[in-house]
Structure 1
């Protein structure tokens, strides 16, 4: 195989960059189900992510039971209130935001770190958190693939991880990382929702890029 055999066409490159630019953390969903074949493709895309030492630390739990979904939503509601109080003067402003779509989305997944991670030393001896970075890569793969499929996805981190782990009967040493709301949407946000709502503004790349040392 030559380099030319593996090259992307201009249209393919454009599509990749478009998915990156137009990926949004979605909060508004339609309840329409996600087709099984599409969901399978998205999970396979997540599973293609790089991982430290090829440990593949991600685990995905698909939530099918309606009562369990409601319990997860209640965990999110509880943490939403706790987060609002912790924000002090921005409490009321935060409570006006729609921060999740757990009840409405067509598919709900829990992304988690596996148990037994201490046995994986390759790439983690000095940076054990690289297992979490690997899971984040899998989530990003799923996110970009979802956007390419015309589906929205939202990453929800408003929950007590111990309470969520107990609810899902996860083994000791494992850890939930994200609730992933996935499904059909009426439209994608033209800008990140927190920008549209006036909560925050993104910083330009030139403020975050250094040369040969911090801050240079």
Structure 2
């Protein structure tokens, strides 16, 4: 029998609380160039990490770790790794896209007060984990949930977050001295921001537009319109 004192209400949030959740979701932005130098108060940053730590995880394995990077020397190495990978990335786009790609700022590594690498320990929980027996990658999915939790909490706190994904994996591993069984899932730049774009920056810059959700919904089997 469940101890009723350990339960939480199952009903909907108040209108104001519900609207706040959806506001955080719809106004979350990937921040690259709007960071301010102001430090983040320790209590706020602690809340962001705790929000990430409350993410769902398969088998309650909690595979994440949080590497907080403030050392200018380490950041300099990270920035150099990004720059090299970004040059490689630019060369992969056709000429018509390459100029726009090169004009878009894609990181705030040196500008943001805090850099955070969220990793996944693929050995966490041992060789057999409840819910992971037939899909080993569920630990990676769980870690991405932690990233999203932190991002939404940051939006509620008025803190900007930018995900820097343009790295060669070996470079990031070497700089951060990650063991073989630990995967770098998200490298985040975190800080106060001067402003946020009203829409995703890549949409505002003409790189892409949001897909109509009606084109993404199928019924029962792939491709079957509802």
Matching of residues 1-216 of structure 1 within 5 Å: 7-28=12-33, 29-89=35-95, 90-117=97-124, 119-216=127-224
Unaligned runs of 5+ in 2: none
Give the superposition deviation at 1:141.
Answer: 0.3
Shift of 1:123: 2.0
The residue matched to 2:91 in structure 1 has which SS? helix
Rounded to whole Å, the distance in 1 between the matches of 2:183 and 2:53 is 18
Q: Aligned-pair distance for 1:67?
A: 0.7
How many equivalent pairs are there? Answer: 216
Q: Structure 2-normalised TM-score?
A: 0.90
Moved beyond 4 Å, runs of 4+ = 1-7
Displacement of 1:161? 1.5
More displaced, 170-179 or 116-125?
A: 116-125
Q: Is the 8 A contact 2:70 2:113 kept in 1?
A: no
Counterparts of 1:125 and 1:88, CA distance in 2: 42
Choose 1 or 2 for highest CA Rg: 2
**Residues 34 and 184 of structure 1 are in contact (CA less than 8 Å); yes or no, is this contact kept in structure 2?**
yes
CA deviation after TM superposition for structure 1 residue 166, in Å: 1.3
Q: 1:5 to 1:135 in 2, by over 3 A?
A: closer
Q: Deviations over 1:190-214 (max 9, x none)?
A: 0001001111111011111111111
Give RMSD over aligned pairs: 1.6
Give the whole-Å Cα distance in 2 for the aligned partners of 1:82 and 1:120: 39
